[in-house]
Structure 1
Amino acid sequence: MQQSLGAGDIPTSFVAHDGEQFLGTVSLIVCDEEARPQYTPWIAALWVEPEHRRGGIGASLVDRAAEFAFGTGASRIYLLSRERRRAYYEGLGWTVLEADAPEPGLHILVRDSGKGLA
């Protein structure tokens, strides 16, 4: 996995590859929902090449981006998920913060660092 587009700051992206072969990517951004600026940072744009899905690459990308966010001092991170992907993220330790928000069928999920949340 390789980090790009930043030298320790958000936004940044992570790329999974096997040598020269692209496997997938994920981004960590400041805000993915303008109506909720208090929620920051966000996991966004997770993509794994179809022939490499179901092998743990997506989970590894999400975990790497989360570790990076927590390393910058974030105590919580967020993501938007469609209903059909919600169980996937819940299986990775995410919980629904707002259901059907910002619109029906979209959910805001949260993952805590586990360190000193108020």
Structure 2
Amino acid sequence: MNLNSVKHVCIYGQQANNNCVNYFSNATELTIRHYFKKSENSISTTLNCMIPLTQLTKLVIESYGFPLKEIVKLLCFTSSLYILKLNFLSLNANNSKFIEQNESFQYVSNQNKIKKSSSS
């Protein structure tokens, strides 16, 4: 299989594997269907060994359990992102306060190229 032709990567698993066997060098879209448990690495580190996060243009997260803090960390590595979709994310008072007070979120919102975002 030619992994260089893959443009969209979907992650369904609930457990991340540290030994990244496959690298999708030309992927520009990522969909995460479950918040996966990471081992000793951060989610961003784990994902970056599978796909180049800096070239992602579309990120879709479809998971109730994906912490907003982890999303913000992930967005720090996706400077080319144009489309962000957060499905099933529960925004509560704690998340709102986190957004207002978090320096990383403020940095990400000023640096990223996101033109279209949605949540449901």
TM-score by length of 2: 0.37
TM-score by length of 1: 0.37
Structure number with the higher strand fraction is 1
Structure number with the higher helix fraction is 2
